[in-house]
A and B are shown apart, each in its own frame.
Chain A
Amino acid sequence: MTIGIESSTKPAYGKLAWKPAQRHIVVSDEAGLVAIERLLATACPTGADPIRVYILGREHRTGSLLRAAPASLEVHAQEPGFSAALSACMDTAPAASRLYVAGSEPFLSLVRRLARDRGFAADAMLAELAGSGARRAQCVHCKTVYDDIARRAFDCTRCQVTLIVRDHYSRRIGAYQAVVLYPSDPNIPALRQELL
């Protein structure tokens, strides 16, 4: 049997824009800062609550955002602190809340998983991919998760085989599926070069 690449589970990304909601939660990593600055520069149409902004990154990179002074801004340098703060915010969020996320693929995966664990509906989260298309990918054989996989084929160091990254994406695992390639597959050199 042939294991194809395509899957409808591949997350769809667009440009962030406000949508009606009672509470707006805006998050990004350093790669996504430009996108949320652009969003925050436009007028937010609705919302009873102040806009909440959570950044995973270093303080000095967020200067322009601080000057724009949204109502509530938290900057966390470390992932656990960021995740705890964002989770706490989502726990108290009213049902009609929206989550605006911009950043790298691994960051989007992280936030998507946090939102899923907090019972956020999938369509309550809007995402914009920033930076490279590098993905988190899980070796389906040994379950090791690799960050920053930039190309279609890479090696699993634990299984010692070459894997292909599919577009099949699991929100639960927060990663794309990577599956062994037949060792003599003639496409391997080209897949190693193909950017995701």
Chain B
Amino acid sequence: MNLAIAPQTVDLPPNVFRGDMTFRNSDAAILRFPFPFNSDRFEMRGVGIEPQDRRGPTAAYRSLFDIDEHYLDEVAERAFVLDHDLSRYAMLPHMQQAQWEATDYIMRAMAQDFPESFSYRREGSNCRWENRLLEQHQEFVFGRDETLPCAAFEYITRQTQGDFVLMDQRQGTLWVDGGMVTASYGWSFDFILGMNWHDWHGTLIGAAAESRVIDQALRMTMMLAAETPQRRVTWVHSARPRLDKSLENKIVWQHDIEGITADSVPDDIFVRSEFQQLYRLPSSNAIIFGLRNYLLSLRDVSRVPKWAARLHRVLRDLDPGLARFSNIHFRQECVDWLERFDDGRSLSPGAGPDTDRLEPHP
């Protein structure tokens, strides 16, 4: 991570992903964005799962738990959400072993992928975690809650970007038995806590195409092996760069569409890429389900010619039969604005930007 481009001060109360929503991407952040479209047409065919192997078309793929220039702002945002709503973190009592195993797993990966920012040493049960971005270090004893300022999983996920669900596997299905979720998009973590896979996805059952995907994803997830973590990059079309679009916060965010016009669409409409990750924990047999969000405004998308042309085609040709696309806000305005970047040329397959230099701001 290049700290030179990281925000130097953190607004209090946070104002980046709420309030004035001052969120901006640097040029480097645009180029590392995990663009969610491999081809010119988005279809719910299959579940699109691939190995999470530190390889991929942009820098966002090069680590397990990605840290970028928005780190301090996201950590502050999470702390703020938790201060106002304790239900965003929860862990059912039988998940004690799993939450410690998950904590160890995440710390290990962060220290391996970002050695300049984090270090983690474990000798037997004695552990030392250092987070140089937050200027914190902590000695603790593995498995002993009282040696940390809060529960282990809460401790580490307060220092990560992205949401985390901890799933238990039993009775032939998966259960949402813990997690840290402060940026869900249209669902309530508190409400689904303790639910099994099908109940968790219960509100999607109406759409036959999505039901098949949900069944297939359950089968694949239950077969997840510890040595081969998996990922899936999906997306939503989002008004304004607000992270907390939880149902809890809908009273606030349902007004985000107000005031958006055809002229403001490039700056107010975002591709919200949801980088989903699955890690099997071998001792507890639990699964870490990571949901890391990335935001890119249409104007930022347009600075990568391939992405601009592709997004134009995807939005123009979306299958209106898919329930989740039936009411995309300002779809026509977005298509109209993006059309100028699309001369109909053929685009290379895959989601990579095909460039290391951005076009000037349109």
Interface size on B, residues (CB 8 A): 27
The main secondary structure of chain A at its interface with chain B is: loop
What residue of chain A has the Cβ atom nearest to residue B201's Cβ? A8
Size class of the contact patch on chain A: 20 to 34
Residue B188 at the chain A interface, CB threshold 8 Å: yes
Would you give the 0/1 interface string for A170-188, flagging 1 where the beta carbon is closer than 8 Å to chain B?
1111000101101000000
Residue A92 at the chain B interface, CB threshold 8 Å: no
A157 CB contacts on chain B under 8 angstroms:
none
CA distance A141 to B17 in the complex (A): 19
Q: Which of B152-160, B190-198, B313-321 contacts A (4 or more CB under 8 A)?
A: B190-198
Residue B205 at the chain A interface, CB threshold 8 Å: yes
Contact of B194 among A140, A159, A170 (CB under 8 A): A170
Report B171 CB to chain A, min CB distance, Å. Answer: 8
Residue B327 at the chain A interface, CB threshold 8 Å: yes
CB-based contact A177/B194 at 8 Å: no
B185 CB contacts on chain A under 8 angstroms:
1
CA distance A18 to B334 in the complex (A): 59
- Which residues of chain A in 117-176 are interfacial with respect to chain B, using CB atoms and an 8 Å cutoff? 138, 140-141, 143, 159, 161, 166, 168, 170-173
Residue B224 at the chain A interface, CB threshold 8 Å: no
Residue B236 at the chain A interface, CB threshold 8 Å: yes
CA distance A2 to B207 in the complex (A): 14
A2 CB contacts on chain B under 8 angstroms:
326-327
CA distance A82 to B211 in the complex (A): 40
CB-based contact A140/B248 at 8 Å: yes
Binding site for A on B (CB under 8 A): 87, 185-186, 188, 190-195, 198-199, 202-203, 205-206, 236, 245, 247-251, 254, 323, 326-327
A-B contact list, 9 entries, CB within 8 Å: A1-B245, A8-B202, A9-B199, A9-B202, A143-B190, A168-B203, A170-B192, A172-B193, A180-B250
Closest 4 CB pairs of A and B: A9-B202, A7-B202, A172-B194, A8-B205
Binding site for B on A (CB under 8 A): 1-4, 6-9, 138, 140-141, 143, 159, 161, 166, 168, 170-173, 177, 179-180, 182
